[in-house]
Amino acid sequence: MNSQVEKVISLEDVSKSFGNLVVANKLNLHVNRGEIVALLGQTGAGKSTVMNMIMGTLEPTTGRVRVAGHDPHSEFDKLRGKLSVSFQTDRLLPWRTAVENTELGLLILGVSHSEARERARTWLKRVRLDGAENKYPHELSGGMRQRVSLARALCVDPELILLDESFSQLDHVTSKTLREDFAQVARQYSKTCLFVTHRIEDALEMSDRVIVLRPGAGIALEQTIDAELRADPVRLQQLHNDIADRMSVGAATEH
């Protein structure tokens, strides 16, 4: 299989402008099948713009964006069921229970109610929410609600999962546990994942590769995190410091 086929996400010489404001300038990045990639950067670095172009809600001014082989803006319908998104807020429907929220995407895709319910229960168990299926969102903690959101994203068996600051509103302990559980599930079921975060710890703990954006959605740093690096606290701390330096330079540039 060639390398192009393996790229679930591909941005080639992508630029995006709003009037005279250049938000992305000739950006090139990719995410390979089965990879977990973190996209880091301070506010204004272009993370949200990149994510929106990948989701198809924004069209690049120039360049080419492909997701699972399709243009996400003009061929959005072809990505139904192949792409799932989990946001900073859980976006659960308050009148639906955990299992009813989880199965919603499957029902929209036309899966039978019985199969959707079975798959929803399975994924709630995989994200450690078995026993909470019939609780409503107001009966769940913030971490539990975010687990429902992740189960809903995973339940449709997508090729690609996008996480947009999905752990940033949780306390440190809850966030760390949920990150570990999600990364384990994603790797166990060979899911491809791109997640946006401003927290360096999230990126280092979860990802196979980190990409740091500078303002204008240029790449300031890109680093693979293999098992050897992850097991070396000195090198890992140095990488943490390098990322922090690049992000602080970007933040200073904005002002």
pLDDT digits (tens, 9 = 90+) for 198-208: 889 889 988 99
The pLDDT value given to residue 85: 86
Mean pLDDT value of segment 103-128: 92
Residue 48: pLDDT band (50, 70, 90) is: confident
Query: What does pTM read for this prediction?
Result: 0.85
Mean pLDDT value of segment 132-138: 94
Tell me the domains of the chain and their CATH numbers.
3-82+159-254 (3.40.50.300), 92-157 (no CATH)
The pLDDT value given to residue 128: 86
pLDDT digits (tens, 9 = 90+) for 223-234: 999 989 988 999
Residue by residue, DSSP assigns the chain as --HHHHEEEEEEEEEEEETTEEEEEEEEEEEETT-EEEEE--TTSSHHHHHHHHHTSS--SEEEEEETTB-TTTSGGGGTTTEEEE-SS----TTS-HHHHHTHHHHHTT--HHHHHHHHHHHHHHTT-TT-TT--GGGS-HHHHHHHHHHHHHHT--SEEEEESTTTTS-HHHHHHHHHHHHHHHHHTT-EEEEEES-HHHHHHH-SEEEEEETTTEEEEEEE--HHHHT-HHHHHHHHHHHHHHHHHHHHHH-
What's the mean pLDDT when you consider all of the chain? 88
The pLDDT value given to residue 162: 92
pLDDT digits (tens, 9 = 90+) for 17-47: 998 888 888 999 999 999 999 999 887 788 8
Q: Which of 8 and 165 is assigned the larger pLDDT?
A: 8
